[in-house]
A and B are shown apart, each in its own frame.
Chain A
Amino acid sequence: MDFACNFPFFSIMLLMFTGIISMIAGPRPAKILSLAALGISTVLSALLIAYINQTGESFIYMMGHFPAPFGNEISAGMFEAVMAFGICGVAFLSLWGNGASTKTDIPEKKRNLYYIMMDMLMASLLVLIYTNDIFTAYVFVELNTIAACAIVMSKPGGETIAATIRYLIMSLLGSGLFLLGISLIYALTGHLLMPNMHEIIIELVHNSNYTLPLIVIVGLFGVSMAIKSALFPFHSWLPDAHGSATTASSAVLSGLVLKGYIILLIKLFFRVFSLDILKEFHISDVLLVLGLLGMIMGSVKAIKETNIKRMIAYSSVAQIGYIFMGIGMDITIGLVAAVFQILVHMVTKPMLFTAAGGLINVSGHKKDFESLQGSAWKDPLAGVSFIVGSLSMIGIPLFAGFIVKYYLAAAAFDTSKNTLIILAVLVLSTVLNALYYVPAISKIYHRDEASKFNWQDVLRTIGAVGDFPYQASLIIFIILNIILGTCSGPVFQALEMGLDMLG
């Protein structure tokens, strides 16, 4: 075992210990420790990607003293490494960039607790990505839920607590169903490690034994993860939670937490049940339909919103719909497209939330569009990032969103499901996205006829508003988006390789 194989374990442990140590630290040290841990994890994940690229295969890492099938395992391949890199990197940028607004929103005494919760959240996300054992997944799903709820409610005020309770209830419902699924699959296969379960399931399907319980299990896994990742119609908790939380929390929740559950679902579908077996169960049909509905309904609801953060949150519902549409297509290339959308959304949504946070800050901390008019002139960098994010979401070429649509459409032709409907909904969602992003941009750039306009002033303001982390993180997000939009070839190949290794 090369040294690099320890990296997943290191990242997880590092984040957990940082969380524990931060309990005795003040707010500033806690933040620095968090950022350091996240930074180191990002670097480790990058090194891991390089390592796996070199060896060309995934590896299994034993946790504890008992080998499979009795012990616990971590499995790391290209897919897991890329996802981990994305998650740690985006978390770092979100926390770093929004440091100022975190300072204003969260009282000083509680701030180190906030960073502890972030560390725990990141650690549990990494476990969900890397684990090979389904019960470990359950435990860390619960940890994820608690930490996510904690970062929502950390901003004082009744609104956040009400939102947290709704989120908590829905999440716990999802967890309960997940545990039920685990119990059933354990009863059927007698194993908790995914590769071992897979062997038994192949046998069972081959002999046509226990088909109904298997369908129920897949359904339970699908529904529980759908509830937790806000697939329509289980999305009602999302706008409240993401809309009322502080900016860093919204960015992390929308960009990362939702994805953690979807990544777990993809692993379950791919590694425990392979895609061929899944096709016979028709659960993916349900996911496809719900994904298509989510794409439309998410955007329709966003059009009516007057609060910028809630509008962006509803947009997340629509984007998650894309991912489930990709998963629902039941073919590998569809899954790769879905994973690519995960990456793109991971990079775009936190940028939108950070930009929105910046715009809200220069408008007297008001979130509705009436108060935000003209804010993009006061904070030009936020305005530009908002435009880049919106263009990406709408699907203008040269930005990442267009490439996602291209890959999903290309996959749509190979699937056995109805191609024309998928294409039509894909295109319809483009227009619907435009219907709320374009008026939003027009409002934030609104100016009275009378006011004088001077480009030199605008350019000078760019450097003046917001501190360096905020500006740097926005610029890095923009660059990442454009890179994914123009040089997506290598990334896509890496993901294809990753999904090959996953099975």
Chain B
Amino acid sequence: MGLICILLPIIGGIWLLYKKRQTYFVRLVLLLHVLLTGILLFLPDTSWVVWKLTDQLNIVLKTDGLSRIFLAMVSLIWLVVSVYAQDYLEHDENPIRFFAFYLLTLGGLTGLCLAGNFMTLYLFFEAMSLLSVPLVLHTMTREAVAAALKYLIYSIAGASMALIGFFILLHYGSIEFAAGGTLSAAVISEHRDILLAGALFTVVGFGTKAGIFPMHSWLPTAHPVAPAPASAVLSGVITKAGIFAVIRVVYYQFGVELIAGSWVQYVWIILSLISVLMGSTLAFKEQILKKRLAYSSVSQLSYILFGLGTLTPTGFVGAVLHVVCHSVIKNGLFLGAGAVIHQTHKTKVRELDGIGKVMPVTMTCFTICALALVGIPPSGGFVSKWNLIAGSLESGLGLISWLGPVILLVSAVLTAGYLLGISVQAFITGKDKNGAAAGQEVSGRMRNSQMLLAFLAVVLGVFSGPLISYLETIAGGLF
């Protein structure tokens, strides 16, 4: 069953390359995908060996709580953004190639969510990185090509670092995912150093996809240069693939026992805090709108990595909650930015005075998402940050557990500054000037998809209860 979910978009994507028009085909495939994954979500946990590469390496597909959450998120968002992309790429010269690789990347991501062991995870991680490169390349300008190369090389570098962890785990434990870790206590005490080194390499390696410092510099280069729907999914969903991989490896393989309290945890937390602060600061100063959103991603993703690094149940819950919220929110923000650029061709923030007058729907959705991200109650952003801070205080890491929340709060203030500043400029400042008056509101599909995402952002916050309890069940098995 899981295999069908993976193969459907892949075959769809390849088929699309042969067709001339893509309008209904893409939506059909994605609707089917959402339906199938929906069914999958309600089936019980299963595991299935697809292929044996060698005696020890299998390709295994598995569903469990964590994969359900990520799968649902990926599937839904992919559909929503595709609706937006339909209109955005109406006058593009090459929509088929875009949608083909869009579908193919979905296939890779589905495989990633359904991965049952490290080998499968690595396979789909690399596949997804490779397949998403044409999305960055789409416009074929010089910068796009350079950005795509940078993205690819950073991806491969990150995956290679994770490979060290893979080899170490293969030898000392097993590569299957088991809640709570697969390393026995005896192995941990004997080979602690090499296991810790492997853990660090894996976290930083997969964290590259999520923009952890120091492997973050590809993000602000690659995300802005892609077309808006691609930036949205790159920032909103594909980066979460890195986070998913980190969760799988740390919580389901190395195990919390090994890392809690060790130097690896300290390094992890410190790196994520640095990224949080650095991302927010750079976003604050950045004038190009999409780049500002990209830096914001760096910052927000490191919130999530921080939460995971606290190695506490509350931190875990906060982190995964933020994954879902940030995904929805960031997609909304990028779609809004894309709408503005599409209509006015203005890419810089200071040129956006008064845009709220002519594009009210877009900017309202943008503002709603921004407020949710900053963490105004009762939005999802608030709940997740609350959990993150609680988790940090619980983690017992001494100075860091106090420093963490401080930095998170400072960053929240900066976030308000750089996101709400745009909204303010759009609505309030511009009432007297006529700077960006040119341009009109975006049409149906683009508008509807943005509204849907903004709505979801609010819903996730208000009705976060069920999601939180589901996450707490998952977290229970891991500690």
Task: Report which A residues bind B (CB closer than 8 A).
Answer: 391, 394-398, 403, 405-407, 409-410, 412-413, 419-420, 423-424, 427-428, 430-431, 434-435, 438-439, 442, 446-449, 452-453, 455-456, 459, 485-489, 492
Contact = CB atoms under 8 A, between A and B. Distances in A.
A456 B16 CA distance: 11
B413 interface: no
Interface core residue of B55, B119, B163, B197 (most chain A CB under 10 Å): B163
B328 interface: no
Given A430-B156, A448-B140, 7 more contacts: A397-B53, A405-B163, A431-B156, A442-B145, A449-B140, A486-B51, A492-B54
A413 B52 CA distance: 22
Interface stretch (B164-172, B352-360, B469-477): B164-172
B54 A435 contact: no
B149 A455 contact: no
B123 interface: yes
B12 to A, nearest CB: 15
Interface in B291-341: none
Given A410-B171, A430-B160, A488-B54, A397 B152 contact: no
Contact of A406 (B57, B140, B194): B57
Contacts of A435: 153
A478 B147 CA distance: 29
5 contacts: A395-B163, A431-B157, A453-B93, A488-B53, A489-B55
B22 to A, nearest CB: 12
B54 A438 contact: no
Given A396-B130, A406-B54, A409-B167, A449 B141 contact: yes
Given A410-B171, A423-B164, A430-B163, A489 B153 contact: no
Contacts of A452: 93
A459 to B, nearest CB: 8
B19 to A, nearest CB: 9
B122 interface: yes
Given A396-B130, A439-B149, A455-B18, A434 B157 contact: yes
Given A410-B170, A430-B156, A449-B141, A489 B54 contact: yes
Contacts of A403: 53-54
Contact-residue bracket for chain B:
35 or more
A439 B18 CA distance: 27
B62 interface: no
Given A410-B167, A430-B163, A431-B157, A486 B18 contact: no
Contacts of B130: 391, 396
Contacts of B119: 397
A485 B53 CA distance: 7
A395 B122 CA distance: 11
A412 B194 CA distance: 13
Contacts of A446: 145
Nearest to A489: B54
B207 to A, nearest CB: 16
Contacts of A396: 126-127, 130
A449 B140 CA distance: 6
A487 B55 CA distance: 10
B374 interface: no
B18 A456 contact: yes
B164 to A, nearest CB: 5
B203 interface: no
Interface in B56-98: 56-57, 93-94, 96-97
B222 to A, nearest CB: 14
Nearest to B157: A431
A447 B123 CA distance: 29
A395 B160 CA distance: 9
A428 B161 CA distance: 8
A344 to B, nearest CB: 13
Interface string B102-132: 0000000000000000010011001100100
Contacts of A419: 194
B17 interface: yes
